[in-house]
Structure 1
């Protein structure tokens, strides 16, 4: 008997070189998205990264380190995005609304996108019963709708955690896209029990938390990753439309000694000689464009127009 691996039925295999060609708005070829992660954590409870020791119990030190992102780091990032005239999207825990209103004032003033990112990164939805997960998604969606006047288009699970029914629940809650599946450099359609849901590229690699906290890379090494990725994709996109998303955590890259490296990398991108190929955008705008394309262009079984 041959080995049969556990599988999913969310998408079929699709080699990138076999796909139809298309372009982003104004015939751009590379969609460039900067996404921050703005998170709140439980004090001395639940889950959360630690800068000093892997697996360290939750305590006041690692709580305060993460809170630095909301008190200081995010404001440095806002200023940098303003300096470089970059749009951004923000993966937000909905409980951030409780005590951090100034963050949302700045996001609204910039016209940035809000992406639902769970209630708090102190919990994971991957092991929840379906009814409990549906309640979590509704809590997040309702909170954002009440504060912003509209529900978010996109979802990014805390730590990209999903249960077997997460895409189904997101589709049924009205979401247009999800960023939990880092399987591609182009958007593709996920199957759900209620119809297609778009997967928009989000990086497991080009992610400051994964790179700096888990792999112990320096800020300069992370910045070099951004530069190398951009330089390669700005050439690859001549033959294929691509998405380059950078994941930033305000409590990681927002530390002062790391900011110069990030500034160098982002300036390299926005000042690149071939920057005319780039669409400086957000995941939600990428999703809107894909929904407007004819059926059969984006990989997978999409909606009928």
Structure 2
């Protein structure tokens, strides 16, 4: 029988752990994650910006499908321009079907050296899949064929998992996941096939909870990122600090929001000792520090 998360990792208070330290002058690492997804018109949409007039979800859901489609047609390219200009390489959390359905977008990220992190085949909850393992293998295979490199990271759609997910991840070569947002630092889960590292992904600096669930005004995305950054930067003399932020093209790539993302990234990049890493870079650093490989 699969284990619960509590059976995979013991509680650990950060104040009781020996502090991890970066090498050299690095004080804080920023982990930017861009999410690219496929919303199938035949299904209920993953999110809604415009509820149906009767309050009952309808299919086909043209306005909400179109809202997401704008992100793939327009919003993504604004995000891409930002990271190109800043010489930053993000992690791309990608539904593998993006490589087939939106090939130009996926190819631009691949050719820019972005890390591809597995994010299922299309956007639907993990526990709703007919065969989770088959879906995971298909997703990894498609990404590997498209990029020439098999992903080492995985993020469940909406951070969804089954109790078996960690075992399936390590069975199929996944080294890290962002699904467990329970710490400021990388941690290790036990699985049937060896350790699985949890990286400090975020629901706090994520444009879905902040903009779509909590309905903050556009400028608040910048405010919250900088508030969190300033606190972590001030604490960085004690131990390693990571700041992740997660964005979606149909939310952060729209004209009235992109300015605040740009200003937040520029602010962080302007501070001494700040570096931008991919998830794989964080994993490699932590694995070396923890003798995982």
Regarding TM over 0.5, the answer is: yes
Name the TM-score, length of structure 1 as normaliser. 0.89
CA displacement 1:167-212 (0-9 Å, x = unmatched): 0100100101000000011000011122110001110111001100
Shift of 1:103: 1.2
Match of 1:195 in 2: 194
Are the equivalent residues in 1 in contact too, given 2:45–2:64 (CA < 8 A)? no
Distance change (3 Å), C-alpha of 1:118 and 1:25? farther
Match of 1:155 in 2: 154
Please state whether the residue corresponding to 2:252 is helix, strand or coil.
Answer: coil
1:252 and 1:266 map into 2 onto residues whose CA distance is 16
Shift of 1:11: 1.0
Match of 2:9 in 1: 11
2:172 and 2:24 map into 1 onto residues whose CA distance is 32
Gaps of 5+ in 2: none
Match of 2:80 in 1: 78
CA displacement 1:143-169 (0-9 Å, x = unmatched): 111111121010001110000010010
Please state whether the residue corresponding to 2:75 is helix, strand or coil.
Answer: helix
Gaps of 5+ in 1: 1-5, 296-302
Name the TM-score, length of structure 2 as normaliser. 0.93
1:49 and 1:290 map into 2 onto residues whose CA distance is 34
Shift of 1:47: 4.0
- How many matched pairs? 286
Shift of 1:141: 0.7
Are the equivalent residues in 1 in contact too, given 2:71–2:248 (CA < 8 A)? yes
CA RMSD of aligned residues (A): 1.7
Match of 2:24 in 1: 26
1:239 corresponds to 2:241: no
Alignment of 1:1-305 (within 5 A): 8-53=6-51, 56-58=57-59, 59-121=61-123, 123-128=124-129, 132-271=131-270, 275-295=271-291, 303=292, 305=293
1:21 and 1:255 map into 2 onto residues whose CA distance is 40
2:249 and 2:23 map into 1 onto residues whose CA distance is 30
Please state whether the residue corresponding to 1:174 is helix, strand or coil.
Answer: coil
Distance change (3 Å), C-alpha of 1:7 and 1:200? closer
